[in-house]
């Protein structure tokens, strides 16, 4: 079984972002990313099946953190309070090192439809994880699906805000703030 190496993964992501900025996503090869990172092609493929996935490394672990936080929410918590507990747990994945390359990552994704599609799949994954974790706790539809959609929207908006230059807030705090704003907006719809 291939071994996950966090430092190597970070080097691969940074190398990919540098090359995508220098020569474009379409003109960058897996071999070039590996060389720039000072690693081998086989190390690249231990971490990512292709260059599209390199910007989404660790997504399964992020989903696991989110589900774990929801599962560990206090009994009696409302669906949105439960989602907030998931967001708190998710904050572990958003380190200061990750914030350093977030603006470049966002720019590369925004410039390439193939990566935008992958980003949309990631968002759909958040909805599914939240929905399924809430249903396991006994929350029924439509509340579970609405909470899943709000949670995923909160994660995306929080990531954008958290990754703004100069922002020093913890991801969990930003995500909770965004979730509160979304809750207020939904109440105003009624």
Residues in the chain, how many? 190
**Number of helical H runs and strand E runs in the chain:** 9, 0
Q: What is the pLDDT of residue 12?
A: 92
Residue boundaries of the structural domains of the chain: 1-55, 58-189
Q: Which residue has the higher pLDDT, 102 or 5?
A: 102
Q: Tell me the mean pLDDT in the region 159-183.
A: 92
Query: Is the model's pLDDT at 3 over the cut of 50?
Result: no
The residue to which tokens 């929350």 are assigned: 139
- CATH 1.10.357.10 applies to domain 58-189: yes
Handedness of CA 45, 7, 60, 150 (dihedral sign): negative
Q: What is the pLDDT of residue 185?
A: 95
Q: Which residue has the higher pLDDT, 102 or 33?
A: 33
- Per CATH, the number for 1-55 is 1.10.10.60
Q: What is the pLDDT of residue 1?
A: 32
């Amino acid at each position: 079984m291939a071994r996950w190496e966090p430092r190597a993964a970070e080097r691969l992501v940074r190398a990919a972002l540098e090359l995508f900025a220098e020569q474009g996503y379409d003109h960058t090869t897996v071999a070039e990313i590996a060389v720039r990172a000072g690693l081998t092609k086989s190390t690249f493929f231990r971490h990512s099946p292709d260059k599209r996935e390199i910007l989404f490394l660790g997504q399964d672990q992020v989903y696991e953190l989110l589900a774990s936080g929801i599962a560990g929410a206090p009994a009696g918590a409302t669906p949105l309070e439960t989602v907030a507990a998931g967001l708190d747990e998710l904050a572990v994945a958003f380190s200061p090192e990750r914030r350093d390359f977030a603006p470049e990552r966002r720019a590369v994704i925004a410039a390439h439809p193939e990566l935008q599609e992958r980003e949309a799949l990631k968002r759909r994954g958040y909805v599914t994880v939240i929905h399924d974790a809430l249903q396991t706790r006994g929350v029924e539809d439509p509340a579970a699906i609405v909470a899943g959609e709000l949670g995923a929207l909160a994660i995306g908006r929080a990531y954008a805000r958290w990754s703004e230059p100069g922002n020093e807030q913890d991801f969990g705090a930003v995500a909770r703030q965004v979730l509160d704003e979304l809750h207020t907006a939904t109440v105003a719809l009624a």
